[in-house]
């Protein structure tokens, strides 16, 4: 007779088997959970699943997710990134690697505005990759910079990852947003430092923008454009995130104001029309529906895994790991990193993480610090071959001279830099805990 523990292992194996057969993730996880859950404890499963699904669709915090998606898509469709890249690129163009630095800065601003990796990578790829290659940039460094800048939206608030992690960890969204701010900016600084060092060691790889091109704008004109282009989206982001972190508004309330603010920015810039509105609504609906579909489908899987005694298996596995709680934490980080080669962040967040979470809750680990560690770890899943989505996004818009090999080799140093950032956060937890403690969260 099959025990619950064996059934839970078969359920995990069945899920990965369905993925290998090409079954969509949401359907695969729901089918494996329902089938093995029914085998394990009968029709009772079907009486428990509806209440779990109801809890997801009525979760007030998760209502912020489609609103933040709308805000980011509206700012992207209104060509904010195009203007930002042009103005910041001219401002930094005199430096070796200045355009690369501009891409990182735009990645930070776009990440804070939307948190959508695809939008940032595709936009900067379309606008910057061909000009960078034409100006003599090393194709691999250019590709890696664009992909890495796009992933910053996964750690810099208002990140969709952080919103879902707040729900899983039982922490407030504002606390996680505050905790992720310093690590996210630290990672951006690490990227910038890398480009500056490469510019010094290999100046031919990252040449500055020619002086005649930079001189097309006077300093006064550039200052005015910086004020007009950079200040409005930055003010919107600061208002939205500041109201959440300061406790003035709930995440859903702040997200609704952010969505409304993005509409106003598009209207004031003269770029709001029915075509743009239709594209924004469609893209927001598609992204939000995908996230909610996987969240709903993950409920029977999680319910069946716990009901079959899978928690006991995980506890036994972690108990056998040497090094105590730190060793167990390193093991989980390595496992999440490897899973990132094959799965998307949302599947890892709602399938793998809840399996390990009780171990660290019982050990007294700071859940806020753990949440930011996990978010930064999941960020690498967008860069790691063979299924890093940032690689696919960039390949889809890359000019003919840029090969898949250029993109894959280009992201390798940035994967190493993300691991360096993760190590800094692991050994210096105050990077994540300082700001929440300072503001009294």
Average pLDDT score, the chain: 82
Mean pLDDT of 57-75: 80
The CA–CA distances, whole Å, from 74 to 148, 266, 272, 387, 408 equal 22, 7, 9, 27, 30
Identity of the highest mean pLDDT range in 39-53, 87-101, 420-434: 420-434
What span, in angstroms and rounded, lies between the C-alpha atoms of 207 and 230?
A: 25
Domain boundaries, the chain: 61-294+320-438
CA diameter of the chain: 80
Count Cβ neighbours within 10 Å for each residue of 344-361 and write b for 16 or more, e otherwise. bbbbbbbbbbbbbbebbe
Is residue 50 scored above 60 in pLDDT? yes
How confident is residue 307, by pLDDT bands cut at 50, 70 and 90?
Answer: confident
pLDDT of 194 above 90: yes
- 230 pLDDT higher than 80: no
- Predicted local distance difference test score (pLDDT) of residue 213: 66
| pLDDT for res 352 | 76
Task: Return the number of other C-beta atoms located less than 10 Å from residue 384's C-beta.
Answer: 21
DSSP result, 139-161: HHHHHHHHHHHHHGGGTSSS-HH
Query: Tens digit of pLDDT for each residue in 81-128?
Result: 667 777 777 777 667 778 888 888 888 887 777 666 666 777 777 777
Which residues does 121 contact at the CB level (< 8 Å), separation at least 6? 146, 147, 149, 150, 390, 393, 394
Q: How far is CA 181 from CA 39, 238, 267, 385, in A?
A: 45, 12, 29, 27
pLDDT of 440 reads 64
Does the structure show a pLDDT above 90 at 369? yes
Nearest of 313, 312, 318, 346 to residue 334 by alpha carbon? 318
Q: How far, in Å, CA of 282 to CA of 245, rounded?
A: 30
- DSSP, collapsed to helix, strand or coil, labels residue 54 as helix
Which spans in 42-172 are helix H? 44-57, 64-77, 80-92, 98-113, 117-124, 130-134, 139-151, 160-169
Residue 383's pLDDT is 84
190 against 300, higher pLDDT: 190
DSSP state of 322: S
- The residue whose two tokens read 């937890």 is 429
Q: Which residues contact 22 (CB under 8 A, 6 or more apart)?
A: none
What pLDDT does residue 387 have? 67
Looking at residue 118, what is its pLDDT? Answer: 65
What average pLDDT score do residues 162-175 get?
85
pLDDT band, residue 2 (cuts 50/70/90): low
214 or 420: whose pLDDT is higher?
420
φ and ψ at 376, to 5 degrees? -70, -35
Residue with tokens 């329902």: 34
The per-residue pLDDT for 81 is: 67
What does R_g of the chain's alpha carbons equal in angstroms? 22
**Distance (Å, whole) CA 125 – CA 426:** 32
Distance CA(369)–CA(375), nearest Å, equals 10
Q: How far is CA 260 from CA 22, 70, 75, 91, 240, in A?
A: 39, 9, 11, 30, 11
pLDDT in tens, 376-422: 998 888 888 766 778 877 887 788 888 888 888 889 999 999 999 99
The two tokens of residue 343 are 């799965």
Cα dist. 441→5, 170, 247 in Å?
Answer: 39, 14, 9
pLDDT at position 304: 82
Using pLDDT thresholds of 50, 70 and 90, give the confidence band for residue 262. confident
* Band (179; pLDDT cuts 50, 70, 90): very high
Per-residue DSSP letter, 204: G
d(Cα 356, Cα 329) in Å, to the nearest integer? 10
Return d(Cα 73, Cα 160) in angstroms, integer: 13
This model's pTM is above 0.95: no
User: Among candidates 415, 432, 431, 441, which has minimal Cα distance to 179?
Assistant: 432
- Identify the H or E element spanning 214: helix 211-214
Question: Which pLDDT belongs to residue 1?
Answer: 54
d(CA 54, CA 256): 22
| Stretch 230-239: mean pLDDT | 81
Which range in 32-41, 263-272, 331-340, 415-424 is most confidently predicted, on average pLDDT? 415-424
Give residue-wise pLDDT tens across range 276-289.
889 888 888 887 88
CA distance 270 to 363: 54
For residue 437, pLDDT beyond 60: yes
């Amino acid at each position: 007779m099959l025990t619950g523990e064996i059934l839970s292992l078969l359920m995990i194996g069945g899920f990965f088997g369905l993925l290998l057969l090409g079954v969509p993730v949401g359907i695969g996880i729901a089918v494996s959970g329902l089938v093995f859950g029914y085998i394990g404890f009968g029709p009772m499963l079907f009486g428990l699943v509806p209440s779990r699904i109801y809890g997801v669709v009525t979760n007030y915090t998760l209502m912020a997710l489609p609103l933040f998606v709308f805000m980011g898509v509206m700012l992207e469709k209104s060509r904010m990134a195009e203007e930002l890249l042009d103005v910041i690129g001219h401002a930094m163009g005199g430096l070796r690697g200045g355009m690369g630095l501009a891409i990182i800065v735009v990645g930070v601003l776009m990440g804070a505005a939307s948190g959508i990796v695809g939008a940032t990578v595709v936009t900067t790829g379309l606008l910057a990759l061909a000009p960078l290659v034409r100006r003599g940039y090393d194709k691999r460094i250019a590709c890696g910079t664009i992909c890495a800048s796009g992933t910053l939206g996964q750690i810099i608030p208002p990140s969709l990852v952080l919103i879902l992690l707040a729900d899983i960890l039982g922490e407030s969204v504002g606390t996680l947003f505050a905790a992720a701010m310093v690590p996210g900016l630290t990672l951006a600084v690490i990227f910038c430092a890398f480009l500056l060092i490469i510019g010094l060691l290999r100046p031919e790889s990252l040449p500055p923008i020619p002086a005649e091109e930079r001189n097309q704008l006077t300093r006064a004109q550039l200052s005015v454009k910086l004020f007009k282009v950079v200040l409005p989206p930055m003010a919107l982001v600061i208002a939205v995130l500041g109201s959440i972190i300061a406790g003035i508004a709930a995440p859903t309330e702040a997200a609704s104001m952010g969505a409304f603010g993005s509409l106003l920015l598009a209207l004031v810039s003269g770029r709001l029309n029915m075509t743009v509105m239709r594209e924004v609504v469609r893209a927001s609906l598609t992204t939000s529906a995908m996230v909610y579909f996987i969240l709903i489908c993950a409920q029977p899987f999680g319910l069946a895994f716990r009901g079959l005694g899978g928690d006991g298996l995980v506890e036994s596995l972690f108990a056998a790991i040497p090094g105590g709680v730190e060793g167990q934490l390193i093991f989980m980080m390595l496992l999440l990193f490897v899973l990132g080669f094959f799965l998307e962040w949302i599947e890892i967040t709602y399938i793998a993480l809840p399996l390990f979470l009780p171990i660290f809750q019982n050990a007294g680990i700071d859940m806020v610090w753990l949440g930011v560690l996990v978010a930064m770890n999941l960020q690498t899943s967008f860069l790691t071959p063979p299924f890093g989505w940032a690689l696919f996004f960039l390949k889809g818009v890359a000019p003919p001279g840029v090969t898949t090999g250029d993109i894959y080799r280009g992201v390798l140093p940035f994967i190493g830099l993300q691991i360096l950032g993760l190590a800094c956060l692991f050994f210096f937890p105050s990077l994540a805990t300082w700001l929440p403690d300072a503001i009294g969260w």
